A and B are shown apart, each in its own frame.
Chain A
């Protein structure tokens, strides 16, 4: 999302809106992508994002194939570029790629002739997540301009946080980050954000509270001393939430660690939590992205977008 201009973001969100309706009908299928081949190449496991892209492709009429590369080629010593070249030879129209290493999707996109969508690369970016978050917020709050958005948790390792920081700044929201210092990356103050180390200050009068997932392996004694201590200071519960605006929305990219970064009761509160709505918006946003990148394909013979 870094460097994507406001008009493009708005156009994508507007297009996504039209797909929300389609997804709520009995007949969810259209044929915009009829004849197109979409391959979901996931070098890192993710049920949620992969399913979302798969549904998005199928609802637009594309042929969709899922590949979990972590379990096959890598073990046989095939490199990322080998995999890219092999897939490219099968003439897919779009590859959606998830990889555990930052920059891997860009590297792959440089070696293929089809369109590439970034489905999350390392700690770098997760653009469709930021778009679906923006769509969710915009539908609830009508606009992004002027909102106060608090992103809380493991900012250091989070591609979701980075993509959201870029998008929200571009759209005129105020971005606050709330985390212990061990979970904040270097020079983060240069990214146009306010940095807070207490939930009370960080979410005060906030319109939106985005909780991030804390990876299990980072919980015990390395980045934070314990799950218990993390929840005590940085987990979202009803008491901490009182600092935010009364109509503040709670978001989470999933999957949640209940009782670690978010209290179960809040996560399931249909008046405050839009977590399931985010998942719904995810399919619509991905349909819009597939629509846009294949439109480019029709004009040129190839085009890369991440």
Chain B
């Protein structure tokens, strides 16, 4: 039995960009219900058939919905900072159709029951798609492995202790080794914790000037290089998160050249800001790992350009005023990033000559492939998740207008280029300036 034509909607007059097929041309997308029926430059050249709804994209870009593989959604635990509903609204306003959350919840996601809670809340919220990573170790304390296989079956996409690196080399070896048994992905945010202890910002001229304890840049590559040795030993799949230093980008580049199954991501703050932003003790610049110096920032951009850095994720971490209106030492780390992910990435691309297909791949196809998701591409039969955005629209970030419950952004009042216009999840408009 065929579906009736009334289920169908045609998105016409768009610049359709699909990194998976390499398509970047004027055209359209036809959806039926929650799935894509057809995509192409030749679509609706004559006219849209009767009975099919139309959405005029006004020449804006239409790309697969963004997949943000690094979101701190503090529910359960800190619902006053962000809830499923507010995170979903922020994602939708940012053109993000799928978020993958870190297990930095309370209780942490180290047990099937918490994965199921997560899935139920995601279903109830039903705005964007919400997935979760599970912890590598029980309670994220770096000692005993979680039930990786069962958690994976329950829906966990990958395994990470979030911002807490697995410090014990033996535990990490076993985690990688066991994960390799099932082909699971281990994500580590590399930082040698003892070397970084008490550190508030990047170590250098700025930390000395401000009298804040520094974290040396080598703390990142030290842990990363240890892990790369273990990856070589175990043959596991390994993903380094929040890569922020030149040395770490180099280490990943070398590991890839060696043929290891290694990937990495970075966040917009690491290619947009450097440690001079900490001036005046603005606690919204306190992030983990810390903002680095200008040479590191440029190396991150180069890493994106040459493909060493596979994925760009927001590292969205909401913090309320009580966690940030404090002396720098006492303030919590993190910034909200879902709503600035797309413009900051587009601006970086425009400034460095990275093409649109290449840039969007890091926000869509690359994380999808890494995590085994079917989303992230425009093709017949796939979920109708896409984002329509104006790549040229200039606007000024206003923290008070963010959808996120928390407003901790260092990009407040910054002029940015590129604005999400309409976000479509499973054929539904979850955010739109078109309607």
Contact = CB atoms under 8 A, between A and B. Distances in A.
A71 interface: no
Interface in B188-215: 203-205, 207-214
Contacts of A188: 208
Nearest to B329: A101
A174 interface: no
Nearest to B322: A79
B406 to A, nearest CB: 17
A79 B325 contact: yes
A277 interface: no
Residue from B205, B208, B328, B329 whose CB has the most chain A CB atoms within 10 Å: B208
Nearest to A105: B327
B208 A106 contact: no
Interface string A78-101: 011100000000000000000101
A102 B328 contact: yes
Residue from B207, B211, B281, B328 whose CB has the most chain A CB atoms within 10 Å: B211
Nearest to B278: A103
A246 interface: no
B214 A186 contact: yes
A185 interface: yes
Nearest to B207: A186
Contacts of B213: 123
A190 B205 contact: yes
Interface residues of A, number: 24
A159 interface: yes
Interface residues of B, number: 21
Interface string B212-225: 11101000000000
B329 A186 contact: no
Contact of A159 (B211, B216, B328, B330): B211
B124 interface: no
B280 interface: yes
A159 B205 CA distance: 15
B434 interface: no
Interface in A142-194: 159, 162, 185-188, 190-191
A80 B211 contact: no
Contacts of B207: 185-186
B169 interface: no
Interface in B85-122: none
B150 interface: no
B313 to A, nearest CB: 29
B327 A124 contact: no
Interface in A39-86: 79-81
A188 B214 CA distance: 13
B109 to A, nearest CB: 30
A103 B281 CA distance: 6
A125 B208 CA distance: 11
A81 B324 CA distance: 11
A187 B327 contact: no
A122 B207 CA distance: 12
B326 A122 contact: no
A33 interface: no
Nearest to A102: B211
Contacts of B208: 162, 185-188, 191
Contacts of A107: 281, 325-327
A125 B209 CA distance: 9
Contact of B210 (A80, A99, A103): A103
Given A102-B328, A102-B329, A187-B204, A123 B211 contact: yes
- Which 8 A-B pairs have CB atoms at the shortest separation, nearest pair first? A103-B281, A124-B211, A123-B211, A101-B327, A102-B211, A185-B208, A187-B205, A104-B327
23 contacts: A2-B209, A80-B326, A81-B325, A101-B329, A101-B330, A102-B210, A102-B212, A103-B210, A103-B211, A103-B327, A103-B328, A106-B280, A107-B325, A121-B211, A122-B212, A159-B211, A162-B208, A162-B211, A185-B214, A186-B204, A187-B204, A187-B208, A190-B205
